[in-house]
Amino acid sequence: MPAPESKEPKVEIKDEKMTDANTVEKPKSPEEIASLVLNDIKQNFGFLEKAAVNFEPRFSMRVLRGLGNLRRRLTPDILVNAVDAAYPSPSHRSAALILKYLGKEVSGMEIDESSSSSSTPAVLPEIDIYLLVLLQVFLLDQGDIAKLNSFNDEAITILRGYNRRTLDALAAKMWFYYAHGKELDKQLVELRPLLLAVLRTSTLRHDTETRAMLTTLLLRNYLHTQAISQAHQLVLKADFPESAATSVVARYLYYVGRIKAIQLDYSAANESLIGAIRKAPQTSYAAGFLQAAHKLKVIIELLMGDIPERSLFRETMYEKALSPYMELVKAVRIGEVPQFSEAIEKYGAVFKKDGTYMLILRLRQNVIKTGIRMMSLSYSKISLRDICIRLHLDSEESAEYIVAKAIRDGVIEATIDHEKGFMQSKEILDIYSTQEPNMAFHERIKFCISLHNESVKAMRYPMNQHRVELKNVEEAREREKELASEIQEGDIEDEDGDFDGL
C-alpha cells in the first residue's frame, strides 16, 4: 500500500529543506532559535484564543498549517517553556502529562503541593490540545513508538473530555497522529472499533473536521488490511463532509479512487484521483502523496486506454518515483507484450510495494488491444498469422479470437475473413462526424461549471460582517441626508453664485 510512504517521503523532504534553511540562518545561536520557536508557539496561542473567542476556525487552521514548519525545531526545553507559558501551574492534568513524557517530572512535582490547593484557573481547551498535539508530533519524530502510543492513549482521554466546535480542527489532527501511532505499532484491527465509535460521536456532534479525518483514517485502515469490500461499504454508507479541510478531502478522494479502481470502475476512479491531485497541496511537503496518486492515476489511465502525458514523467518531483511506470507506459503505447512482461518482471517488487501490482496485471489485455489497434491502423489487410507473430501469441486460433473480441469491444473497425485467414480494416471514420467532440466539449463545460460552483462555495463570509456593513450603510445614509440638506441650503447660495458668475 502506498499510503504509508506517502507520509515518510514528506518528512524526508522537509528535513532536506530544513538543512537548507539552517545553512542560511547559521549565525543564529541555538538559544536564539529556541526563543524564536517559543515566540512562534506563543503567537499561536494568541491565534487559538482568537479562534475560540470569535468562533473563527480559520485561525486554528492557520496554526495547524504552521505545524510542519514548527515540528522540526522542537526540543524538550522549548516544550517545557511552552508548557510553563500556557498552564498556570504544572500540576494541571495535561501539563503534568506532557512534563512526564518529556522526562521533566521532578521539577513539576515540587510546585505541585503548593498550587494544587489553589483553584486551577481554566486553560483554554484549544491551547491545551494544541500542546498535546505538539508533543505527539515531537514523540513521533523521536521515533519512540511505544512511548508515543501510551502518551496518545492518555491524551485522547483528555480530548474526549472536551466537546467544543472550535476544537474540531485540532481534534482531527490529534486523531490523525493517534491512528498513525497505532498503525506503526501494527494495531490496525484493534483500532477499528474505537475509530468507528468516534466517527459516530463526531457525526452526532456535527464535527465536520473530525468526521472527515476519521472517515479517511478508517478507509486507510481497511485498505491496509485488504478489506476492500468493507471500505467500499463505508464510502457508500458514511457520507463525507465536503466542507472539510482540502488536504483531508484529497486523501479521501485518493482512497475512493483506489477502491473504484479495484472494482473496475475506472472512469470514476480517474475522476477521484484528478480531484485528489488537484486538491492536494502542490508543494514538496505533499510530494509523497502526489507521487502515490500519480502512480495510481497512470495505471488507471492506461487501463482506460489512454496514454498519460509524457511531461508528467519529466517533472523533477516525479521523475524518479515514476520511472518504473514510465517503462510500462512505453510498453502499452506500442503494444509490445514481451516488453510489458519484462517491465513487470523487473519492477514487480516496486509495484507490489505500491499496491498497484494487481492492477498492472490487468493491463495485459490493453497491451494486446493496443497492438491490434496499431496494426489495424497501419495495414488495411493483414493475415492472422502475422498478427500472431507480431503479438507473440501462441496460435493463429488465439489471434482470431482476440481480434474478434477487439472488434466486438469497439477497439478496431474491421472484419475477419475466417476462410482466408486475414483481418480487413474498415476506412477510418472522420472523428468530427461522431459524438466524440460533443462529449469532450460537454466534459469540459461540466468541469468549468463545477469549478465555478466550488469557488463560490469556498468564499468566506466572516461572521457579523454584515453588521459592519449595515453600520456603514447607515452612516452613508446619514451623510447623504446631510448632503441633501446642505445642497438644499446651498442651492440658494449657488444660484446667487451663478448669477455672480454670469
State the minimum distance, in angstroms, from the CB of residue 286 to another protein: 26
362 belongs to the binding site for another protein (CB under 8 A): yes
Give the residue, chosen from 37, 52, 387, 407, that forms a contact with another protein under the rule CB under 8 A: 407
238 belongs to the binding site for another protein (CB under 8 A): no
Rounded to whole angstroms, how far apart are CA atoms 57 and 54?
A: 9
402 belongs to the binding site for another protein (CB under 8 A): yes
Helix H or strand E segment including 382: strand 381-383
DSSP β-bridge partners for residue 415: 424
Identify how many contiguous H helices and E strands the chain contains and give both numbers.
26, 3
Q: Which is nearer to another protein, 195 or 363 (CB)?
A: 363
Rounded to whole angstroms, how far apart are CA atoms 363 and 360?
A: 5
Give the residue, chosen from 304, 307, 358, 448, that forms a contact with another protein under the rule CB under 8 A: 358
Q: Enumerate residues 38-77 that contact another protein by CB under 8 A.
A: none
Q: Enumerate residues 121-160 that contact another protein by CB under 8 A.
A: none
Give all strands of the β-sheet with 414-417 in edge-to-edge order: 381-383, 422-425, 414-417
Q: Which is nearer to another protein, 88 or 305 (CB)?
A: 305
**Helix then strand then coil, % of the chain, to nearest 5:** 75, 0, 20
Give the residue, chosen from 408, 457, 460, 467, that forms a contact with another protein under the rule CB under 8 A: 408
11 belongs to the binding site for another protein (CB under 8 A): no
380 belongs to the binding site for another protein (CB under 8 A): no
**Is the distance from CB of 58 to CB of 86 less than 8 angstroms?**
no
405 belongs to the binding site for another protein (CB under 8 A): yes
**Is the distance from CB of 337 to CB of 367 less than 8 angstroms?**
yes
DSSP β-bridge partners for residue 381: 424
Give the residue, chosen from 34, 123, 227, 238, that forms a contact with another protein under the rule CB under 8 A: 227
Total residues contacting another protein by CB under 8 A comes to 30
State the minimum distance, in angstroms, from the CB of residue 404 to another protein: 5
Rounded to whole angstroms, how far apart are CA atoms 271 and 253?
A: 9
State the minimum distance, in angstroms, from the CB of residue 301 to another protein: 18
Q: Which is nearer to another protein, 401 or 441 (CB)?
A: 401
State the minimum distance, in angstroms, from the CB of residue 426 to another protein: 15
Q: Enumerate residues 430-459 that contact another protein by CB under 8 A.
A: none
Tell me the three cell numbers of residue 453: 460552483
State the minimum distance, in angstroms, from the CB of residue 230 to another protein: 10
State the minimum distance, in angstroms, from the CB of residue 371 to another protein: 11
| CA nearest neighbour of 149 among 127, 117, 118, 182 | 182
Strands 381-383 and 414-417 come out as: unpaired
State the minimum distance, in angstroms, from the CB of residue 352 to another protein: 8
229 belongs to the binding site for another protein (CB under 8 A): yes
| CA nearest neighbour of 156 among 209, 97, 241, 222 | 97
Helix H or strand E segment including 85: helix 76-86
Q: Enumerate residues 72-131 that contact another protein by CB under 8 A.
A: none
373 belongs to the binding site for another protein (CB under 8 A): no
DSSP β-bridge partners for residue 424: 381, 415
Give the residue, chosen from 157, 395, 438, 485, that forms a contact with another protein under the rule CB under 8 A: 395
Stretch that binds another protein, among 36-44, 226-234, 287-295, 316-324 (CB under 8 A): 226-234
Angle at 264 between CA 431 and CA 211, to 5 degrees: 115
Tell me the three cell numbers of residue 57: 476556525
Q: Which is nearer to another protein, 281 or 421 (CB)?
A: 421
Q: Which is nearer to another protein, 172 or 344 (CB)?
A: 344
Give the residue, chosen from 41, 256, 368, 414, that forms a contact with another protein under the rule CB under 8 A: 368
State the minimum distance, in angstroms, from the CB of residue 261 to another protein: 9
Q: Which is nearer to another protein, 83 or 423 (CB)?
A: 423
Helix axes 287-303, 266-279, angle to 10 degrees: 160
Q: Enumerate residues 326-355 that contact another protein by CB under 8 A.
A: 352
Q: Which is nearer to another protein, 419 or 500 (CB)?
A: 419
Q: Tell me the three state secondary structure of residue 415.
A: strand
Stretch that binds another protein, among 160-168, 209-217, 280-288, 393-401 (CB under 8 A): 393-401
- From residue 256 to residue 285, the character string flagging contacts with another protein as x (rule: CB under 8 A) and all else as - is ------xxxx--------------------
Rounded to whole angstroms, how far apart are CA atoms 378 and 425?
A: 9
State the minimum distance, in angstroms, from the CB of residue 343 to another protein: 16
**Is the distance from CB of 372 to CB of 391 less than 8 angstroms?**
yes
The residue behind cell 474505537 is 194
390 belongs to the binding site for another protein (CB under 8 A): no
Rounded to whole angstroms, how far apart are CA atoms 261 and 270?
A: 8
* Number of neighbouring beta carbons within 10 Å of residue 131: 25
Rounded to whole angstroms, how far apart are CA atoms 136 and 152?
A: 7
Site residues, another protein (CB under 8 A)? 226-229, 232, 262-265, 352, 357-358, 361-362, 364-365, 368, 393-395, 397-398, 401-408
